[in-house]
Structure 1
Amino acid sequence: MTANSRDLHLSILDQTMLRQYVRNLLIFPFPDPSHTEAATNALRTGFSATLHQFPFLAGTIKQSDSPSTRLSLQYPEHIPPELVSRIFNSDFDLAANLIFHYDTLREGGMPPSRLPSDVFCPKVLRSHPGLDDPCAEGITSFAKGYPIPVIAAQANFIPGGLILSVYTHHSVVDGTGIARLYQVWSGHIRSHNCDEETPDSQHPSSMSPTPTQNNYTDPSLARRTIDTFATPPSFAECPEVRIPGTSASVPALRSTPYNLSAKVIVFTESKISSLSATLSAITNKRISAFIVLAAMLWSHITRARGPLLAEHDIQKTTLGIAIDHRKNLGPAITHSYLGNCATGLTTSLPLSTILSPLTITAESLAPVAVNISQSLSSVDLDWLKARISYFSRTPNSSALSLDLDIRNGPDLFITSWMHMGADYEWGIPGTMESGDGKSRRGGVPTAIRKPHWASEGSIIVLPRQKIGSHDFEVSVCLEEAEMGKVVESLRREMWVERIIDA
């Protein structure tokens, strides 16, 4: 960065977050290539306007040279068009490659197994000198000393379709922030299409707020506000946190190496909604669709592991859950805040609770669902303050993790991308018609996927449209034989609509 740059304060939660890119692929039909130039211009113009609204997104992150390992973020005071073009570009390498034909991908359920990182990683991040992985996968150590972009995006044109790759660093933006980012970006595109007054990308000063302008708000203020919630040291226990160097609490389930299997499991909307209502009636608690999915998968996976768990005399299983604290922070955090407001919690059950029932029914799922519900309900502002305080006095807090044994162990971790913008109408020229000539609502994505990646024990509820009746898609990665048992039991009990290779 030049002398005309600013620093964004990264909050305690930002500093503690996993240092990796959140990698999204937004997939649209694009049957008529004659719209290519218009689509590219709309995406770039909308992206430029978004960067000017949130200028820190145009910045770079690096790690401090001091032993603290704190991250710092610098962003330009003004955002010239050449910077926009560097972090957003269009790619036509696949435009004639029938292996990636949109119709073939759609018929296969948009399988992540056919969306590899080495193909869809934005070019600005490929083999970046500051990254450990050539395709921006996994944790960023920052050991190489080069600053890396906060965000990178690329429009990949494929036969009959458009795949928008968006890689956003989790140290700066969380899942809810990404949803807000998509909302803003898509809104600017719609404004551009309607010839409404939009910022002039050729004259960046018209979009760059300065401290003298009335509408300028320092983007560091909200992040500093989060830091004020660090209460004076009370040394409250944070039992869900594992400090670096702590060994696994249970023996490994199986000898290594072994194969992993990743699937997108598609649950029928009507059955999940019905089970949610049934469990709510049985337990006299509100059991959401998310809790149903978490309880269902926790139960099925644990039962598939039953013999191995018994062989190693393991008596309990633990589920880690990512939670968003915006509702607890209240008016301190506005709707436009993109930064990290998420942490994780853990909840455990004795194996007998899951394994004792002969079959999985609403009655056998009820105690599992209640356990998850009560754990989520126990989180309030005081709970969060204790964690922020603990993180603030922990050197290298990014090395902290949840107290889980996920890899080759009995535990699982679940996060939800369910509300990550699947309903937003992008209005990208050429995406508002399907291949059969039928119009589509506002050019919403057909699907949002993560590039192919195997992370054992991880569960992601994928983005889902709220308008209309849409099934629930959940990405799961397990040991290969274990996955086979889970898929077999889910199919036998007719919970699933489809299984997609991930």
Structure 2
Amino acid sequence: MDSPTQHMSLGPLDHMLPRHYARFVIYLSLKPGVSYKIAFNELQRGLSKTFTQLPWLNGKVFWQSRTRPDWRPGQLEVQYKLPKADDGMPWQLKYKELDTDLSFEELKELGFPADTFEDEELLWAPFAPDLENGADVFIAQASFIPGACILCASVFHSVADGMADVSIFKIWADHCQDMPVTGTAGEEDTPKHLSRSKEEKALLSTSQRISERSDRVQQSIKDARNKSVMKMLVKIKGEEKAMRQILSATQPELKSRVFYISSANFTSLKRACAQGNGLVSGNDAISALLWRALIKARLEADKKIYDTKVDMSESQLEMTIDGRPYLEFPPTYLGNVVLLCRAKLSSETLTSPDTNVATVAQTLREATSGINSVTALDAYSLARSLKTYRRFDERSTPVAGARMLITSLLAMPASSMGFGDKGIFGNGGKAEGIRPLMGALNKYFRICFVMPPTAYGGIEVVFNLSDAELDCLLKDKEFENYALHVN
């Protein structure tokens, strides 16, 4: 007998994220002589156990029916069914042998370029699915080349953020090792059905108590435009017109690039940014370096070649912040808790020879200092009070213009994720390299990823820019002092 369909409404924080897949590629080496099918079957077995533990991963995201409680326009929900003993292996994980002469060792030698393969070669699902027909919560593909499995996986972004993705992938990896799997509270978990509702209900209760103090909520609404805490789902006055101009401009073709910052250079960068007794974090320092260098390259290339006619007098940087510590969610909470910090500087000031990276880092520190448990909860309360979750456009950092987004994965425990040995995977089943899948992003967004720390020390950064911008960037002596061009 077929089990009834379960409905899991997505909350205010889940609607903050763009409705597409945030896709990552994990390079797993294979031991000599291991057949591709054996490796694939092992991944399928672990994923099947993961779906049993987290059944909503085996569901689809739909627009919610207006007949559901607390419905509002743009509301999303996950529809899924509880697992049964006779369920087959997860169909969401596809098998593919890539038609390429490249071996794993050659890819590793090249530094795992982010654009070696087209998106469609590594993942079977579209970047932005049709929600009318339902978007699979989880998608994955195991692609094989001599010596390696290139594992590409994603959770629909409206369901989980980057930290949640890593937790879900770790659960999958632990199941492949037949290890006890930790749940959302950190302890060993055995129930068949884990939901995300416990933390959400606690946050909702706190938010409702705040809402009863209407003066505070009204002040939050009044000040929302000036807060660098969370990206609101409201149309900001003047923003739509500015975005329409940018999106209609001639846009250069972007390509993905990888740079490496050694441990010694990262230490040197943080030391330089701490000049003048300024208290800055490692994220502030690396974000300041990237913002200044990439906008300098963009302005120079636009002036010499593209002449997009877009106003670039002001540069805007958006940085994603994990809100779990501020909203008292556990680190392994499997939902969206992304706060967005927004900083602005005139392009002239940002790129001036008289401005140093320490000054820019201090600007970012001032922008992020407004994020605390009170302001984060205020922002959540405001998001919950919205009458609609519909938006006019999600591209706040389009290709043209002087805006960019930095997503830092420095705090993500990717090094603790291993799919095990069992005579199948090399390196204990741990990733030899991790890359974002950039093809679709290159067409729509200006984005930069600060990747998790590497096993050999240092940090990799992946971002998109044009060939002309790369030429300008490689002539930037300040950037060259810290970052090495990999590919």
Structure 1 letter corresponding to 2:50: T
Shift of 1:37: 4.5
Q: Contact 1:36/1:430 (CA < 8 Å) preserved in 2?
A: no
Shift of 1:404: 4.7
Pairing partner for 1:178 from 121, 146, 165: 165
Q: Contact 1:27/1:447 (CA < 8 Å) preserved in 2?
A: yes
Q: Contact 1:28/1:444 (CA < 8 Å) preserved in 2?
A: yes
Query: Equivalent residue of 1:495, what SS?
Result: coil
Shift of 1:3: 4.4
Does the alignment pair 1:43 with 2:38?
no
* 256 and 279 in structure 1: CA distance in 2 versus 1, 3 angstrom threshold: closer
With normalisation by structure 1, the TM-score equals: 0.80
Shift of 1:413: 0.9
Residue 345 (structure 2) aligns with: 349
Structure 1 letter corresponding to 2:343: T
Q: Contact 1:29/1:446 (CA < 8 Å) preserved in 2?
A: yes
Q: Which runs of 5+ in 1 are unaligned?
A: 126-135, 199-206, 210-215, 434-439
Q: Contact 2:60/2:79 (CA < 8 Å) preserved in 1?
A: yes
Q: Contact 1:248/1:405 (CA < 8 Å) preserved in 2?
A: no
Residue 130 (structure 1) aligns with: none
**What are the Cα deviations for residues 197-243 of structure 1, in whole angstroms up to 9, with x where unaligned?**
99xxxxxxxx773xxxxxx6653232333334544242242225461
Does the alignment pair 1:460 with 2:449?
yes
Shift of 1:329: 1.4
**What are the Cα deviations for residues 291-334 of structure 1, in whole angstroms up to 9, with x where unaligned?**
2221011111222344658987754321111111100112xx23
Residue 187 (structure 2) aligns with: none
Residue 273 (structure 1) aligns with: 267
Shift of 1:403: 9.6
Residue 140 (structure 2) aligns with: 153
Q: Contact 1:178/1:338 (CA < 8 Å) preserved in 2?
A: yes
Shift of 1:110: 0.9
* 197 and 267 in structure 1: CA distance in 2 versus 1, 3 angstrom threshold: closer
Query: Equivalent residue of 1:162, what SS?
Result: strand
Residue 381 (structure 1) aligns with: 373
Shift of 1:479: 3.8
Separation of aligned partners in 1, 2:13 and 2:477? 37
Separation of aligned partners in 2, 1:169 and 1:385? 25
Q: Contact 2:114/2:438 (CA < 8 Å) preserved in 1?
A: yes
Pairing partner for 1:298 from 291, 305, 308: 291
Q: What value does the CA root-mean-square deviation take over the aligned residues? A: 3.3
Q: Contact 2:288/2:357 (CA < 8 Å) preserved in 1?
A: yes
Pairing partner for 1:370 from 362, 366, 386: 362
* 155 and 278 in structure 1: CA distance in 2 versus 1, 3 angstrom threshold: same
Separation of aligned partners in 2, 1:317 and 1:153? 36
**What are the Cα deviations for residues 128-184 of structure 1, in whole angstroms up to 9, with x where unaligned?**
xxxxxxxx21x4452xx2122110222222111111111211111111111111222
Residue 318 (structure 1) aligns with: 316
Separation of aligned partners in 1, 2:7 and 2:243? 41
% of aligned pairs identical?
Answer: 21
* 451 and 99 in structure 1: CA distance in 2 versus 1, 3 angstrom threshold: farther
Q: Contact 1:61/1:150 (CA < 8 Å) preserved in 2?
A: yes
Pairing partner for 1:238 from 213, 224, 237: 224
Residue 224 (structure 1) aligns with: 201
Q: Which runs of 5+ in 2 are unaligned?
A: 67-71, 183-189, 212-216
* 431 and 237 in structure 1: CA distance in 2 versus 1, 3 angstrom threshold: farther
Separation of aligned partners in 2, 1:429 and 1:218? 31
Does the alignment pair 1:495 with 2:472?
no
Shift of 1:14: 0.9
Separation of aligned partners in 2, 1:253 and 1:481? 20
Separation of aligned partners in 2, 1:58 and 1:313? 45
Query: Equivalent residue of 2:326, what SS?
Result: helix
Residue 69 (structure 2) aligns with: none
* 40 and 407 in structure 1: CA distance in 2 versus 1, 3 angstrom threshold: closer
What count of residue pairs does the alignment treat as equivalent? 450
Alignment of 1:20-99 (within 5 A): 20-66=20-66, 68-80=73-85, 82-89=87-94, 91-94=95-98, 97-99=99-101
